[in-house]
Amino acid sequence: MNRRQAILKFFQFVAASPLLKADRKYSELGDELVKQANVFDFAKLAKAKLDPLAWDYLDEGSDDEVSLRANRTGFDDIIIRPHFLINDVSTIDTSTTLFGKQLTQPIYFSITGGKNCFFPNGEQETALAAGTSNSMMITGGGINNILSAGKGPKVWWQFTTAAEFRTKNQMVDYAEKLEDQGCTGISVTVDIYQVSHRERSIHNGLVRSWCQQAKGIPRNAQGELVYKPDDILWTAGDVPKPRPFPTPKWDTLQRLREASKLPVMVKGVMTSEDTELAVKNGMSGVIVSNHGARQLDQVGATIEALPECVRAAGGKIPVLVDGGFRRGTDVFKALALGASAVGIGRPYLWGLGAFGQRGVVRVMEILRAELAADMGMAGTGKISQIDRSFVRIRS
């Protein structure tokens, strides 16, 4: 082979490479959806499209939003350490298995209430998108028709303080009903027994139930907000009133675990102590989360809390994490620190707000594609090859 033939062969090889195949022809770029370069581009489109009150509700954190910023800046202190020439990276496989279920990527849709403020039938649109991308989704319900039509994702249901926990029988009945509906796990959110100050929404005069109703933010023809006399606004300066029922404790969750065949995950853990208690009380896993920095402020970044929780879990139960994940490198760092999967909230809501179901699918595609490229560049072809040696924490 002469030099010219060798160069030609090299370009043929490059042109056939999977990475270049991901690029698109000019003729395929008519669709605005595929022009977006990263998940932040969806945020810009969603912000331009949504009612400003809906945008603030989606975007805000609590109090001074210190944890909200920390959830992003926390990633800057974790440095990726690539290792070359060990693993084959000619093909990248992002798939993983969680509680016996195969997922196309170790990224899932975390629970977000109030989707109707971002897109009509937002929960259903998200469920269909999660089904398309073979992702796991945590839901608060309202998608039974999609699940029974077989178009839905693998779902976990959110438990809170509500009716599910009042008596053991109620707990058992509820868990059984969920199983019948195709639910494969229960996610108990433990950081919302009192509600935070989200001051953008307080200043905006948001009525939270607006985002639960079909039409979202009510405005008249002049664009003014329309209140009903008994609308409950989010205000400051009131000590929380006593709740009618006591909050669940570890023994409540232990009973739930015993009552149901489904795995029970504790969402909202931020410390090694609580992870140890989750193991001790027979929980199936923990989700390291600060509720997207929407509950207690000043708790630091979730990526900062992850290593101590992974250490405390000691490989006995999976540790998941969410909060501020926007890039393939963010996901890679969490996997290297020992997370089994990573949840996203706002990024898919940006996709939903901008394009509905297609936007949600595309946001997951972008994150998966970034993760795949990052894995290849870091020297890993499979999720199982990512370990602690691939990161160092800046001191």
Ligand X SMILES: Cc1cc2nc3c(=O)[nH]c(=O)nc-3n(C[C@H](O)[C@H](O)[C@H](O)COP(=O)(O)O)c2cc1C
Which residues are near ligand X by CB under 6 A? 58, 71, 110-114, 158, 189, 267, 289, 291-292, 294, 322-325, 343-346
- Spatial distance between the Cα atoms of 50 and 351, rounded to a whole number of angstroms: 12
Catalytic site residue 291? yes
At closest approach, how far in Å is the CB of 283 from ligand X? 16
d(CA 274, CA 243): 24
Residue 367 or 375: the one with the smaller Cβ distance to ligand X is 367
3-state secondary structure of 200: helix
Task: Report the residue number, 112 or 204, with the smaller CB distance to ligand X.
Answer: 112
User: Coil, strand, or helix at residue 185?
Assistant: strand
Identity of the residue, 343 or 351, whose beta carbon is nearer to ligand X in the bound complex = 343
For residue 190, the tally of other CB atoms under 10 A from its CB is 24
DSSP state, 218?
A: -
Other C-beta atoms closer than 10 Å to the C-beta of 220 total 8
Shortest distance in whole angstroms from residue 117 CB to ligand X: 8
**Distance between CA atoms of residues 320 and 10, nearest Å:** 42
Region for 381 from its dihedrals, namely left if φ exceeds 0, alpha if ψ lies in -120 to 50, beta otherwise? alpha
| Catalytic residue from among 83, 197, 203, 291 | 291
Query: CB neighbours (10 Å) of residue 333?
Result: 26
If the CB atoms of residues 62 and 260 are measured against ligand X, the closer one turns out to be: 62
230's CB contacts (< 8 A; 6+ apart) are: none
With CA atoms as reference, report the closest residue to 187 among 275, 257, 276, 130.
257
Q: Cβ of residue 232: shortest distance to ligand X, in angstroms?
A: 17
Q: Which is nearer to ligand X, 87 or 212 (by Cβ)? A: 212
Query: Cβ 395 to ligand X, closest distance in Å?
Result: 26
Task: Closer to ligand X by CB, 195 or 233: give it.
Answer: 195
Q: Which two tokens stand for residue 286?
A: 């923990």
Residue with tokens 């898919």: 348
Whose CA is closest to 209, among 237, 192, 231? 231
Angle at 335 between CA 334 and CA 340, to 5 degrees: 110
Cβ 74 to ligand X, closest distance in Å? 11
We find the least distance from the C-beta atom of residue 240 to ligand X, in angstroms, to be 18
CA 354 to chain centre: 18
Which pair of structure tokens corresponds to residue 189? 């959110």
CB of 303 vs ligand X, minimal distance in Å = 11
Q: Give me the DSSP letters along 268-318.
A: EE-SHHHHHHHHHTT-SEEEE--GGGTSSSS---HHHHHHHHHHHHTTSS-
Identify which of residues 96 and 110 has a Cβ nearer to ligand X in the complex.
110
**Residues annotated as catalytic (active site), given as ranges:** 291
